[in-house]
Amino acid sequence: MTTPMPRYRITIEYDGTPFVGWQVQDNGPSVQGRLAEAIHAFCADELIPSGAGRTDAGVHAMGQVAHFDLTKEWPVDTVRDALNAHLRPDPIAVLDCAQVGDDFDARFSATARHYLYRVAERRAPLALDRNRAWQVPRPLDADAMHAAAQALTGNHDFTTFRSVQCQAKSPIKTLDRLDVSRVGAEIHIAAAARSFLHSQVRSLAGSLKCVGEGKWSAKDLKGALEAADRSACGPVAPPHGLYLVKVDY
């Protein structure tokens, strides 16, 4: 009888600016690929860690989760610290590490994913938050955005707010939360669901901006949803304002 390989779960923070996204691709460095390299440098195991969400190029994470199996058992603090040492100088940090059962899967065990989209209202360029928020030069009506957003929560066909490259089998998803609030000089759009379609949050954020500008009414936003037509979506918000905040299990 073979002894099962120990499985580790890590929580990761990263600035997505220099990466082609989470997933390993041929066209540049990825977060997943850098983690695989760090694991190999630490213990010589060759593997690709599995992540909870495939963030796009330029999208950030405060609480991405991944899991992987190692051939040898290591103290969790050693795994965390060794990976961080080998990830330098890239903007990726392993925040914590835990040993879990082999029934844990970062993607399929997740019960909810939480995203934040940051919109910065100012005319001056962003110096400290460059590539970390979507800059808009004029104030938005956060209250109107939040009121309109409530028509999008629940179980719907989100074809309008789905990338044409989306590989999900169905456009039907249940959006548990879509809140818009003002935080200082920023508008924060918070979304939560068990799972999301490709570019869904960025598509929602871009259409909500149309409401905040007064270009769309709440009725227009609801009509865009009901059209179930990608061409009815507003301009898609850029990736650099989006953060994967946390994953629930």
- Enumerate domains of the chain plus CATH numbers: 7-100 (3.30.70.580), 112-248 (3.30.70.660)
Of the residues 26, 45, 56, 77, only one is catalytic, namely 56
| Euclidean distance between CA atoms 121 and 103, whole angstroms | 45
3-state helix, strand, coil in the chain (%, to 5): 25, 30, 40
DSSP 3-state assignment of 193?
strand
Please confirm, yes or no, whether 56 is among the known catalytic residues. yes
| Whether pLDDT at 188 is above 80 | yes
Q: What is the pLDDT of residues 123-149, one digit of tens each?
A: 999 999 999 999 999 999 999 999 999
For 201-231, write each residue's pLDDT tens digit: 999 999 999 999 999 999 999 999 999 999 9
pLDDT in tens, 227-241: 999 999 999 999 999
Which backbone phi and psi does 14 adopt, to 5 degrees? -155, 155
Helix H or strand E encompassing 134: strand 134-136
